[in-house]
Amino acid sequence: MEKAAIFHQPYGAYADPLSPYCLRVRLRVKKGDLTACTVYHGDRYSQEEDQDYVQLQKTASDMYFDYFTGDLPTQTKRIRYVFYVQNEREAYWYGENGFSQDRRSAGVFQYAYITYSNLFDLPEWALDGVVYQIFPERFANGDRSNDPQNVEPWTVGARPKPDSYYGGDLQGVMDRLPYLEKLGVNVLYFTPIFRSPSNHKYDTTDYYQIDPHFGDMKTFRKLVEKAHRHGMRVILDAVMNHTGVGFFAFRDVIDHGSVSRYADWFHISSFPVQTEPRPNYETFANDVWTMPKLRTQHPEVKAYFLDVAEYWVKEVGIDGWRLDVANEVEADFWRAFRQRVKKANPEALIVGEVWHDASPWLMGDQFDSVMNYLFRDAVVDFFGRGRIGAEELDARLAHSRMLYRTQPQYAMFNLLDSHDTERFLTTCGGNEKRMRLAVLFQTTYVGMPMIYYGDEVGMQGGSDPDCRRPMIWEKRRQNRALFNFYRKVLRIRREQTALRRGNIRVWVAQGRIYGFLRRLENDCVGVIVNNSDHMCEISLDTAAFGQPTVLVELLSGQSVQTTKEGRLFITLAPYEGRVYTAPSTNGAKKPALNRSNIPL
């Protein structure tokens, strides 16, 4: 037994309270090393002979490790526990003192008391969310009277430059709400809409004013109200790592230098402020002089921006925030941000922009979710570029899931692309079949699928600014077959509760064939894709479906027989994907999902 590979800690993703009366524990071990793992547990003040036990399940495997998981019930909210790990050759107790064949010598892990602050307070609506990202300047022009000067033609052949304007606005979004409803999305995420001199608006001048080229407060309030009537939530982009140079506080520092009352709101190394040849203050990224970085640990800075966050939630009615450059802001600021926003609306969603392991921000005291770039990286490498096989895809996805507590996994923004990346269809070299496979995968995987505007009609584009072309609205120029495919897979997602709220297990991962199972109570859905250019025959175990004699393929509506031995034999065409469920599965049923019954 490889003891050095065995790992547990009594907090974070490895000891995750789902409710005051249930603790989910996780153990990491060398891949293929254990045959069984049991947890003996009881109240911290109980005797050993009073303890219960739970047999852990192997719930995931990455390239190097297996992960065993189980739920420990408690009536007192106090838990102590010890693992008993076994393989064919040996067995050990594993506790806080390490390994021993004597139980008491191994010691115990303790979760002293499950307090309310230990629980992950995730809005339930997020589990059913399908996100549509809107870059307002490029989505739709509904009011030409507010267009900027030198607006360029809104055409399919448009190729934006960094300073291009096309006239998109909030009225345009409002006009297209029926389109978005028909597509099947229910969460609208807007990149910044506040006053700013740029087309992207990440250099904010006024956090309390809608940019006049987008509309005004009256228009935005009406948009929020109409979106809500259409069953859609509205999430705005909060840029609180930095401001624009036109922000009132930075302007005051430019005008008054070191005696400005706002001089210590920013990271300024000397006075007077200079922007050329290099700024003498910290900025977003490297020397982006138009975006001075804020000192978010400063009490006045914190107070100002927490007021901003509360205002748009409480007074205007938005449903959450996406946080720009979230990993470069003080953690204490985000903790205070969460408290203020959740007080204004406990159902508000908070999503951070983090391109790497985001576990420090997903402990329950800062964000609900992040932009899931780890997911995107794996999907790009498997579907988009064909660099990895199914085994590595599964390992990378499992590794990223095991970084996090259970609840945020269901609210991750699972993106294929965004305003910061090239379009996914471009990544696929224009191969629509591979794009469709990735979309099928995205909309059935754990988390919230996020669609970047225009992907659903076949838009392409390289990296910024080419990925920000104006939306294609001429139906004859849209890929309507792809649009209808999006509608179909999103309808399947809505109808099958297990695809939104179920657990996930690998079904098959070999070569270019990948399949997984989503299960919730008695509901089970299986997804399988052939990411290759040749036909593939495969045999699949149907035990997870309850050994049915027939399964229904949801994309085609066709039924298929299973064998008496509980196998499903299928032939997949090149770049074909399928979704199976048992005909008795009541996909429309919506079991109550709370912290205590999220499946393993």
Question: Could you state, in chain order, the average pLDDT of each consecutive group of 10 residues for the chain (600 residues)?
Answer: 97 97 98 96 83 94 97 96 96 97 94 96 96 98 96 97 98 98 98 98 98 98 98 98 98 97 97 95 96 98 98 97 98 98 98 97 97 98 97 98 97 98 98 98 98 98 97 97 98 97 97 97 96 96 92 96 94 98 64 60
Same domain, 320 and 291: no
Cβ atoms of 172 and 146 closer than 8 Å: no
Q: Flag whether 173 is in a domain.
A: no
| Residue of 16, 71, 137, 324 with catalytic role | 324
Same domain, 306 and 193: yes
Domain housing 196: 130-168+179-202+229-241+298-495
Same domain, 314 and 194: yes
Same domain, 456 and 524: no
| Residue of 353, 394, 417, 456 with catalytic role | 353
Domain CATH code at residue 267 = 3.90.400.10
Same domain, 322 and 428: yes
Q: Flag whether 211 is in a domain.
A: no
Same domain, 456 and 387: yes
What DSSP string describes 228-268?
A: HHTT-EEEEEE--SB--TTSHHHHHHHHHGGGSTTGGGB-B
Q: Flag whether 479 is in a domain.
A: yes
Q: How far apart are CA 184 and CA 58, in angstroms?
A: 35
In the annotation, is 50 catalytic?
no
* pLDDT for 588: 47
Q: How many domains does the chain have?
A: 4
Amino acid identity, position 558: Q
In the annotation, is 353 catalytic?
yes
* pLDDT for 599: 78
Same domain, 543 and 489: no
* pLDDT for 597: 63
Q: How far is CA 221 from CA 56, 224, 340, 344, 501, in A?
A: 50, 5, 21, 17, 32
Same domain, 447 and 357: yes
* pLDDT for 587: 47
| Chain centroid to CA 338 | 17
Q: How far apart are CA 403 and CA 242, in angstroms?
A: 29
Same domain, 102 and 13: yes
Domain CATH code at residue 145 = 3.20.20.80
Q: How far apart are CA 570 and CA 560, in angstroms?
A: 9
Same domain, 236 and 382: yes
Strands 57-61 and 91-95: unpaired
